[in-house]
């Protein structure tokens, strides 16, 4: 059963219902953030060693290490999205790596227990608004720790359908409709999460970014859209 979970042929929720709680809990406790990475690697192995839905990195920053972290650690992905407000995408998704470097580790319990504001304010500041974002990341970490046992991937792996996934995402501190759609797009297009497919919006999102050039194109299009929206709102 443990192999079935790791390979993704049975979800943690399915195995809980079949009485395999102990297997799931033991694996998740043993592997921590590596749990999600293990499932992804096993899925890729079953598909002949390559699966485009399980990328080694997301091209959201200029740092390979930061890109790899947000692709392989679900909590880092959530924190990156939480920080993606009034800063560049590159700055937001570099945040998880900066937190790991300054704290020495990166997990829900550590983030929930730490005094994050001085960590955010240390130069260079992790965010333009270090106090507010330190609180947001703390609240997010507490939620993941208390609701999902510290396993951030359960936000989507526990979701049986799009409605449940939407509810799980909406319950995350700091996640409004735009973040829900953007994260769902990444989950659907970059990680192949089936429950996220119905939540993908019609317009371009970070889910469409699969290279450094795609990120530049996305940001350019977003600036144009914002300028047009601002012009349309201006009084005539």
Per the domain annotation, does 196 fall within a domain?
A: yes
3-state helix, strand, coil in the chain (%, to 5): 70, 0, 30
All residues at 6 or more sequence positions from 131 whose CB lies less than 8 Å from its CB, including other chains: 117, 120, 121
Percentage, residues of the chain above pLDDT 70: 75
Q: How confident is the model at residue 183 (pLDDT cuts 50, 70, 90)?
A: very high
**Structural domain span for residue 144:** 65-206
Per the domain annotation, does 202 fall within a domain?
A: yes
Specify the pLDDT at position 50.
39
Domain count, the chain: 2
Specify the pLDDT at position 150.
96
Per the domain annotation, does 221 fall within a domain?
A: no
| Backbone dihedral angles phi then psi of residue 124, each to the nearest 5 degrees | -75, 140
User: Whole-prediction pTM value?
Assistant: 0.77
Rounded-to-integer distance, Cα 218 and Cα 235, Å? 28
105: left (phi over 0), alpha (psi -120 to 50) or beta: beta
Same domain, 194 and 96: yes
Residue 51's Cβ-count burial label (10 Å; 0-12, 13-18, 19+) is middle
Per the domain annotation, does 125 fall within a domain?
A: yes
Per the domain annotation, does 182 fall within a domain?
A: yes
Same domain, 141 and 195: yes
Q: Mind listing the pLDDT tens digit for each residue in 18-42?
A: 555 555 555 555 555 554 555 555 5
Q: In 3-state terms, what secondary structure has residue 57?
A: coil
Same domain, 74 and 41: no
Specify the pLDDT at position 182.
95
Same domain, 85 and 22: no
Q: Mind listing the pLDDT tens digit for each residue in 61-109?
A: 999 999 999 999 999 999 999 999 999 999 999 999 999 999 999 999 9
Mean pLDDT, the chain, whole residue set: 84
Same domain, 40 and 133: no
Q: How confident is the model at residue 224 (pLDDT cuts 50, 70, 90)?
A: confident
Rounded-to-integer distance, Cα 54 and Cα 11, Å? 16
């Amino acid at each position: 059963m443990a192999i079935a979970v790791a390979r993704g042929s049975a979800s943690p929720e399915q195995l809980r219902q079949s009485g395999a709680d102990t297997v799931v809990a033991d694996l998740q406790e043993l592997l921590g953030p590596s749990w999600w990475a293990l499932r992804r690697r096993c899925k890729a192995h079953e598909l002949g060693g390559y699966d485009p839905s399980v990328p080694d990195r997301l091209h959201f920053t200029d740092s390979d290490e930061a890109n790899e972290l947000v692709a392989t650690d679900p909590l880092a992905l959530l924190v990156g999205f939480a920080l993606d407000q009034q800063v560049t995408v590159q700055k937001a998704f570099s945040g998880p790596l900066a937190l790991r470097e300054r704290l020495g580790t990166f997990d829900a319990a550590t983030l929930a227990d730490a005094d994050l504001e001085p960590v955010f304010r240390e130069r260079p500041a992790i965010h333009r608004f270090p106090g507010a974002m330190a609180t947001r990341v703390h609240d997010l970490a507490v939620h993941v720790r208390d609701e999902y046992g510290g396993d951030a991937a359960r936000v989507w792996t526990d979701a049986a359908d799009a409605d449940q996934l939407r509810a799980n995402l909406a319950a995350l501190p700091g996640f409004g409709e735009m973040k829900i759609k953007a994260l769902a797009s990444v989950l659907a297009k970059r990680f192949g999460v089936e429950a996220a497919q119905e939540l993908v919006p019609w317009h371009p999102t970070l889910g469409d970014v699969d290279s450094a050039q795609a990120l530049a194109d996305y940001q350019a299009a977003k600036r144009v859209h914002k300028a047009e929206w601002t012009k349309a709102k201006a009084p005539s």
